[in-house]
Structure 1
Amino acid sequence: MRPLRIALLGTEHVHTADHRAAVTACPDAELCHTLDEADAAVICSTTARHGEWLRIAATANLPVLVEKPLAASLAETTALTASVGSGAAVVAMFLRCAPALHRVRSVLATGALGEIVGARLSFGHPGLPDGMFEGTAAWMLDPARGGIGAFADLGIHLIDLLLWLRPDAPIAVRDARFRMPAGMAVDSSGVAVCDWGAVPVTLAAGWTTRPGGLRLRVDGTRDRLVLRDGLLAVGPDVERHAPQAAGDATRAFLAGLRGRSMWRPPTAADVLTCASVLEGVSVAARRA
């Protein structure tokens, strides 16, 4: 069986290297340089060009993995979700692949914590002070090119995580605050307070957190769950898992092309809900 040939469409996204490395490391996949020879594609462009690349891939009848967000606004997301609903496109929500979070989902499903009474999730890195958004990634600070700011860039993962962990729990935005540095057109960090079903939840995300990483805490009436990257504590029991990695979504996408299921990617409804919640957070932050 010949290797799957994967084209990278755009190279401006900060996770381009992760996608390239995941394809290169896959024993039955390889990178190619033209759509004519490709079996599938990964869209790593500016967010503003996602629609263009999705149309090109659809014309070539190629399945695609597309970086998040699918689009920079709710209206634009609505216009593009047909590609997700048809199965032609998959959004790269890589936290759904993390082993520790699969374990968290299992714990919540069993009810081991009792009634869930509160949660806090945070996701961050020091990319802004460390120069991550200079050079080819400078577009992420520019709304005209699809830049959406730190909270939406990382917080979208947290919102999607809430949807995946408890699919029957709706998310409602109660309040939000953004940090807007002088001279920047987008936020550098933000915090949102939401209802997760009947559970109050705080979401924090930003590009100025050192050392950064993923943090999750869920409090129940019988026990507590705490996650720090791959280190998971459920009550007194501590487990070590591989930490989350952006290339996990690429590996899951490639496996799916070969008929091997490694994850449940976000549905079109999930993608729309994330965009709707992010719009609600933005409205709440502007109102504050």
Structure 2
Amino acid sequence: MSKIRVAVIGCGSISKHRHIPEYAMNPNVELVAFCDIVPERSQQYADQYRAKAYTDYKEMLEKEKPDAVSVCLPNVLHAPATIAAAESGAHVLVEKPMASTEEEALAMIESAKANAVFLMVGQNQRLMPPHVKAKELLQSGALGKVISFRTSFGHPGPEAWSVDGRNSWFFNKEEAIMGAMGDLGVHKSDLLRYLLDDEVSEIAAFIGTIDKQGTEVDDNATCVLRMKSGAIGTLVASWTYYKGEDNSTVLWCENGVMKIGTDPEDQVIVELRNGNVEKYKVGAIATNESQTTSGVIDAFIDAIVAGQPPVISGEEGLKSLKVILAAFESQETGKIVQI
């Protein structure tokens, strides 16, 4: 079969570390175009991959007619770029959070359906080896039902990660809409939904800008969640873990406890009530300092090749986004919000 012609819209850090190299490694892909408002950025990749460079994604979609695109733009642009790409007939992989509002997300899902293209959301946490293993162990039934949990995702903030450093769009509320919750919290709401095979029914949240100077976006959030199953727990997102990244989850179950990402050697540890301890070395979770293959790009391309809807659909992205939006509503109203 002919290769899938892919274009990347937005050539910042997530493209540099994940999307572009992972597309380049995929034998079914030909990178045909790159778009960024900073001409040097798109040109650099165009030169490297013998592709075309653009500063306007609408012009690029019209001229190149790619089969698929990655949307790696500031959060506020996810919806318009996704819809434009879908209307041009391209399958879309959009970074998380998929949109800034529920209305935008629904419009993106509708546009993909109307144009008979796939929409996938880059919720990569559910594809990381420790999380895949954890899900497998939970499904085996050995631990019994999950009763309570805690999950946290924190790092020192986007300053060191973003190509623009402290001047990044991440800190501009008009472009980012949300801070640590949109960057990290939505990863964890998606992970909990995936691991527990359950939906969040209620959420109460404290969200604020506690330490980052000169920005209105949130740098910390602590949320209390009740799942439909009755399980309760906490979800934490932070940009002020200055001593280093934490992306760990602990699940307390009927028959024991599962610890994910708490140990540098054994990524998944199961301690059963009968005294048995199982440790699994399954490969690390990718971090900003240590990039491992996310699995998202391959899953997206596999879906297109097979003609099967992607595993992390627009609908899945919306469910994970709604948890975050409800958390902001809880912060604003001071009330527990039902989802």
In the superposition, the TM-score normalised over structure 1's length comes to 0.88
User: Distance between the aligned counterparts of 2:200 and 2:302, measured in 1?
Assistant: 30
Which of the residues 33, 58, 76 maps onto 2:104?
76
| Equivalent pair of 2:105/2:314 in contact (CA under 8 Å) | no
Q: CA deviation at 1:136?
A: 9.5
User: Distance between the aligned counterparts of 2:314 and 2:160, measured in 1?
Assistant: 34
User: Distance between the aligned counterparts of 1:171 and 1:105, measured in 2?
Assistant: 21
**In structure 2, do the counterparts of structure 1 residues 114 and 88 end up closer, same or farther at CA, with 3 Å as the change threshold?**
closer
Structure 2 residue aligned with 1:132: 162
User: Distance between the aligned counterparts of 1:47 and 1:90, measured in 2?
Assistant: 15
Instruction: Provide the aligned C-alpha RMSD in A.
Output: 2.6
Structure 2 residue aligned with 1:225: 258
User: Distance between the aligned counterparts of 1:69 and 1:196, measured in 2?
Assistant: 21
Q: Give the secondary-structure state (helix, strand or coil) at the position aligned to 1:280.
A: helix
Structure 1 residue aligned with 2:304: 257
| Larger relative contact order (CA 8 Å, sep ≥ 6) | 1
Structure 2 residue aligned with 1:238: 279
Q: Give the secondary-structure state (helix, strand or coil) at the position aligned to 1:114.
A: coil
Q: 1:131-181: CA deviations, max 9, x gaps?
A: 637359711111211341112321101111122223344331033343433
Q: Give the secondary-structure state (helix, strand or coil) at the position aligned to 1:258.
A: helix
Q: CA deviation at 1:224?
A: 0.6
Q: CA deviation at 1:274?
A: 2.2
**In structure 2, do the counterparts of structure 1 residues 262 and 275 end up closer, same or farther at CA, with 3 Å as the change threshold?**
closer
| Equivalent pair of 2:70/2:93 in contact (CA under 8 Å) | yes
| Equivalent pair of 1:81/1:271 in contact (CA under 8 Å) | no
Q: 1:180-218: CA deviations, max 9, x gaps?
A: 334311111211111123111100112222321420100
User: Distance between the aligned counterparts of 1:40 and 1:226, measured in 2?
Assistant: 37
Q: How does 1:270-285 map to 2 (within 5 A)?
A: 270-285=316-331
Paired amino acid for 1:252: A
Q: How does 1:152-231 map to 2 (within 5 A)?
A: 152-181=182-211, 182-197=213-228, 198-209=230-241, 210-228=243-261, 231=267
Paired amino acid for 1:192: C
Structure 1 residue aligned with 2:24: 24
When the two structures are aligned, how many residues end up with a matched partner?
Answer: 286
Q: Give the secondary-structure state (helix, strand or coil) at the position aligned to 1:247.
A: coil
Structure 1 residue aligned with 2:6: 6
In the superposition, the TM-score normalised over structure 2's length comes to 0.76
Q: 1:221-258: CA deviations, max 9, x gaps?
A: 21110011771001211101122347321121112222
| Equivalent pair of 1:162/1:196 in contact (CA under 8 Å) | no
Which structure has the larger Rg?
2
| Equivalent pair of 2:145/2:253 in contact (CA under 8 Å) | yes
Q: CA deviation at 1:93?
A: 0.7
**In structure 2, do the counterparts of structure 1 residues 109 and 261 end up closer, same or farther at CA, with 3 Å as the change threshold?**
farther
Q: Give the secondary-structure state (helix, strand or coil) at the position aligned to 1:72.
A: coil
**In structure 2, do the counterparts of structure 1 residues 133 and 171 end up closer, same or farther at CA, with 3 Å as the change threshold?**
farther
Q: Give the secondary-structure state (helix, strand or coil) at the position aligned to 2:295.
A: helix
Paired amino acid for 1:249: V
| Equivalent pair of 1:122/1:204 in contact (CA under 8 Å) | yes
User: Distance between the aligned counterparts of 1:166 and 1:115, measured in 2?
Assistant: 9
Paired amino acid for 1:178: G
Question: Which is further off, 259-268 or 110-119?
Answer: 259-268
Q: How does 1:139-154 map to 2 (within 5 A)?
A: 139-154=169-184
Give me the identity figure in percent. Answer: 24
Structure 2 residue aligned with 1:38: 66
User: Distance between the aligned counterparts of 2:163 and 2:232, measured in 1?
Assistant: 33
Structure 2 residue aligned with 1:51: 79
User: Distance between the aligned counterparts of 1:128 and 1:168, measured in 2?
Assistant: 30
**In structure 2, do the counterparts of structure 1 residues 140 and 200 end up closer, same or farther at CA, with 3 Å as the change threshold?**
same
Structure 2 residue aligned with 1:65: 93
**In structure 2, do the counterparts of structure 1 residues 139 and 119 end up closer, same or farther at CA, with 3 Å as the change threshold?**
same
Q: Give the secondary-structure state (helix, strand or coil) at the position aligned to 1:15.
A: helix
1:15 aligns with 2:8: no
Gaps in structure 1 of 5+ consecutive residues: none
Which of the residues 99, 108, 112 maps onto 2:142?
112
Structure 1 residue aligned with 2:123: 93
